[in-house]
Amino acid sequence: MTRKKISKQHQATFDGIRQYDANGDERWSARDLAPLLEYQDWRNFAQVVDKARQACEQSGYRVADHFGDVTKMVSIGSGARRSVPDVLLSRYACYLIVQNGDPAKQVIANGQTYFALQTRRQELADATKFAQLSEDEKRLAIRNELATHNKQLAATAKDAGVETALDYAIFQDHGYKGLYGGLSAKAIHARKKLKKNQKILDHMGSTELAANLFRATQTEEKLRRDQVRGKTRANQTHLDVGKKVRQTIKELGGTMPESLPAPDKSIQQLESAKKKQLKKMDT
Within a 13 Å sphere around the CA of 243, how many CA atoms are in the beta-carbon half? 8
Within a 13 Å sphere around the CA of 175, how many CA atoms are in the beta-carbon half? 23
User: Which of 87, 53, 83, 90 minimizes the C-alpha distance to 70?
Assistant: 87
Residue 141 near residue 113 (C-beta atoms within 8 A): no
pLDDT given for residue 207 in this prediction: 92
Per-residue pLDDT of the chain (283 residues; tens, 9 = 90+): 333 443 444 456 788 888 988 888 889 999 999 998 889 899 989 999 999 998 888 777 889 989 999 988 777 767 778 889 999 999 889 888 888 777 677 777 777 777 776 766 666 677 777 788 899 989 998 898 888 889 889 999 999 999 999 999 999 999 999 999 999 999 999 999 999 999 999 999 999 999 999 999 889 989 988 899 999 999 999 999 999 999 999 988 989 999 999 899 999 999 888 888 777 765 5
pLDDT given for residue 103 in this prediction: 65
Is this model's pTM higher than 0.85 or not? no
pLDDT given for residue 46 in this prediction: 93
Sign, CA torsion 153/154/159/163: positive
Return the biggest CA–CA distance within the chain: 76
Name the helix (H) or strand (E) containing 189: helix 185-191
Cβ partners under 8 Å of residue 261, min gap 6: 205
pLDDT given for residue 3 in this prediction: 39
pLDDT given for residue 6 in this prediction: 34
Tell me how far apart the alpha carbons of residues 13 and 37 are, in angstroms, rounded to a whole number.
Answer: 11
User: Which of 189, 237, 246, 186 minimizes the C-alpha distance to 214?
Assistant: 246
